[in-house]
Amino acid sequence: QVQLQESGPGLLKPSQTLSLTCTVSGDSITSGNYYWSWIRQPAGKGLECIGRIYPGESPKYNPSLGSRVSISVDTSKNQFFLKLTSVTAADAAVYYCARARGEWERLGAFDVWGQGTTVTVS
Amino acid sequence: DIQMTQSPSSLSVSVGDRVTITCRTSQTISSHLNWYRQKPGKAPQLLVYSASILQSGVPSRFSGSKSGTDFTLTISSVQPEDFATYYCQQSYSIPWTFGQGTKVE
């Protein structure tokens, strides 16, 4: 079965760049019809979609993050990545990578999630 | 962005109770509405997709329905593992957005 695992620094200073990696195991990142996504959740709060990427296509981002965010993929390593520049305390959260279905009848349903990684900005 | 209004924000129930959670969207989203359960310290788990289709492996006590821009998640008989927070999510337009959550305690 497909599994996702986030990795990256857990502590950042304000103005630094957050860089996270999601490693996909159990299947190729290019097989099937899936969007590979990043979602975050501040402590005690709700979920926010950051963006998604479909291999071979341009990524889509949440406009609320402006030009600070970028998502990329390395199909040879079966990984995708999140970069968020100029972080502030408001970016502190648990960051999840997740797989979203791409077929119309299930479009956007996140059916596989990583365990999440906590990012602190201080 | 499509706004999601989820209600109630919390509810207190007992094992065996029937629970209904509602999500109202600010515009029509066809049936692109998904429901998740999140246990403390864990990632969310997909329960229902496309408004009413049960995800594989999810118990049949969960069901979803749609009426216009109102979507409902029903738990027919709450079990101990169902005490958690539930989220709706629209996947009709970018950015995909979640409701504020409903804590079942």
**Total residue count of chain B as it appears in this document:** 105
Residues of chain B with C-beta less than 8 angstroms from the C-beta of A105? 50, 53
User: How many contacts does A have with B, using Cβ atoms within 8 A?
Assistant: 65
Taking any CB pair shorter than 8 Å as contact, residues of chain B touching chain A are: 1, 32, 34, 36, 42-46, 49-50, 53, 55, 87, 89-92, 94-101
Q: Which of A47, A107, A116 is opposite residue B91, by nearest beta carbon?
A: A107
Percent above pLDDT 70 for chain B: 100
CB within 8 Å: B91 and A47: no
**Cα distance from B25 to chain A (closest Cα, Å)?**
16
Q: Which of B32, B94, B100 is opposite residue A46, by nearest beta carbon?
A: B100
Instruction: Give whole-number Cα distances, A45 to A26, A83, B63, B66, in Å.
Output: 31, 22, 25, 26
pLDDT of residue A104: 83
For the stretch B32-55, pLDDT in tens is 999 999 999 999 999 999 999 999
ω into residue A9 within 30 of 0, thus cis? Answer: no
CB within 8 Å: B36 and A110: yes
pLDDT of residue B57: 97
**Cα distance from A49 to chain B (closest Cα, Å)?**
6
Question: Touching check for A47 and chain B: CB below 8 Å?
Answer: yes
How does pLDDT run along chain A (122 residues), one tens digit per residue?
999 999 999 999 999 999 999 999 999 999 889 999 999 999 999 999 999 999 999 999 999 998 999 999 999 999 999 999 999 999 999 999 999 998 888 889 999 999 999 999 99
Q: How far apart are CA B101 and CA A91, in angstroms?
A: 20
CB within 8 Å: B89 and A63: no
- Using alpha carbons, select from B105, B43, B28, B78 the residue that is nearest to residue A98: B43
Kindly identify which residue of chain A lies nearest to residue B31, measuring between CA atoms.
Answer: A105
Q: How far apart are CA A51 and CA A34, in angstroms?
A: 13
Q: Which residues of A19-32 are buried (b: 16+ CB within 10 A; e: fewer)?
A: ebbbbbeeeebeee
